[in-house]
Amino acid sequence: MFPRHLSRLRIRLAAAVTVPLLASALALPLVGTAGPAAAGSCGRASGCNRYELIHAGSTYGWYPAATRNEFITADGARPPRTWSHVGTPFAWSDKFGTLQIEQHSGDLYTDWNRSHRTGRWEVRFRSKTGNQRTPSGAPYQVKIELVPTGTRATRCAPESVLMAGYDPATAGRTARVGVTRPGFRASAPATPVGPLFDVVKWNGTQDEHVGAWRVWAVEVGRDHISWFLDGRVIRRESRPAALIGKPLHLRLSLLATSPQMAPAMTQLDWARYWTLKRTTKARKKVRALRHAPGLTATTASPAPGC
C-alpha cells in the first residue's frame, strides 16, 4: 500500500502523462489526410466542418486515397496539369481552393485525365444558375460521369457511368445516376437530403440541410457498379451488360439547351480516387453495400439531354 500522499502524487503524474497523449491523439489527422498539414479528411489545415467528413471514402473505409486533388498545389500549378477542358469557358480556374467553372454559352467538358479500369471516384461539388423566375435564359444541364479513355467530348458518350445528372429547369431536388452502353441503358433517381443545387448565389452555410454542396461517388468493381450520395450507398448494378470493363476517367459536362443560356457556375471542392484494396468490415455497412437497390428505369435516358 502506498501512503496517501504518494497515491495522490501517482494520480497527478498519470494525469500529466495521459492528458498530453490524449491531446496528441485528438490532434492527429483523420483518415485520408495527405500529410501533417491536413487536419481532417477534407484535407484542410484549418480542419473540416461536419458535412465535409460525411463522404463515402470515410464512411466505408476506403483510405488511403491513391490520388486526390484539393486544387491547392504546392508548385503553384493551378489547376493541376491532369485536368483539361474542351469548349470555350467564360472562366475556368483554381479559385478559393476549388476548380471553379463559369459558362455563358455553348457546351463545356472538363476531364480529369487519369484512367483506371476499376476503383472508386468521389467528388464534392455544387452548382448554381440564374434565377428561374426571370427570362434570363435556360439553365445549364449538369453531368458528372465516368467515360472510357479516348471518348470524344460529346453530349452523350456511347459508354458512360453517370455519377450524377440533372437539369435545374426540371430536376427539382432529384438527380439521376445510371449506365449507358450499346444495347443497355438503365438509370435511377438520386435525391439528397438537402438542395440539389443553388439558385442565383452560393448559400453561405455548408450545412448539409441548407447548402447545396453534394458528394457523389461511384465504385467500379469487376462484377458490379455502386453509387453513393453524401456518404451513403444508394444503388448497385451487377448485370453483366452494365459493366464497361475499360479504363475510365472522370468528366464534368455543362450542356447548353438553347442559344440564350443563363450563366452557370460550378465549384469542384475536391476529387479523389481509391483502389479496391480496402473497405469496411462493419456488418451493417457491408450488408448495405451488397443489398443496395439496382437501377430501375431501363427506358428513360440516364442523363439530361441524351
Q: Which of 135, 139, 157 is nearest to 148 (CA)?
A: 157
As beta bridge partners, residue 218 has: 121, 227
Instruction: Compute the distance between CA of residue 29 and CA of residue 287 in angstroms, rounded to an integer.
Output: 29
Instruction: Compute the distance between CA of residue 305 and CA of residue 294 in angstroms, rounded to an integer.
Output: 23
Residue 281, exposed/middle/buried by CB under 10 A (0-12, 13-18, 19+)? exposed
Residue 17 lies in a domain: no
* Tally of domains in the chain: 1
Give the N- to C-terminal CA distance of the chain in Å, as an integer.
81
- Identify the domain containing residue 43 by its residue range: 39-290
Residue 3 lies in a domain: no
Instruction: Compute the distance between CA of residue 228 and CA of residue 122 in angstroms, rounded to an integer.
Output: 9
Q: Which residue has the cell 455497412?
A: 285
What's the whole-model pTM score?
Answer: 0.81
CB 166 within 8 A of CB 142: yes
Residuewise pLDDT in 10s, the chain (306 residues):
445 444 444 444 344 434 333 333 333 222 222 322 233 445 455 656 665 668 999 999 999 999 998 887 554 456 778 999 999 999 998 877 889 999 999 999 999 999 999 999 999 999 988 654 444 788 999 999 999 999 999 999 999 999 999 999 888 889 999 999 998 999 999 999 888 888 766 665 544 445 688 999 999 999 999 999 999 999 999 999 999 999 999 999 999 988 889 999 999 989 999 999 999 999 999 999 999 999 987 765 556 657
Residue 14 lies in a domain: no
Residue 195 lies in a domain: yes
Residue 115 sits in a domain whose CATH number is 2.60.120.200
Instruction: Compute the distance between CA of residue 135 and CA of residue 262 in angstroms, rounded to an integer.
Output: 9
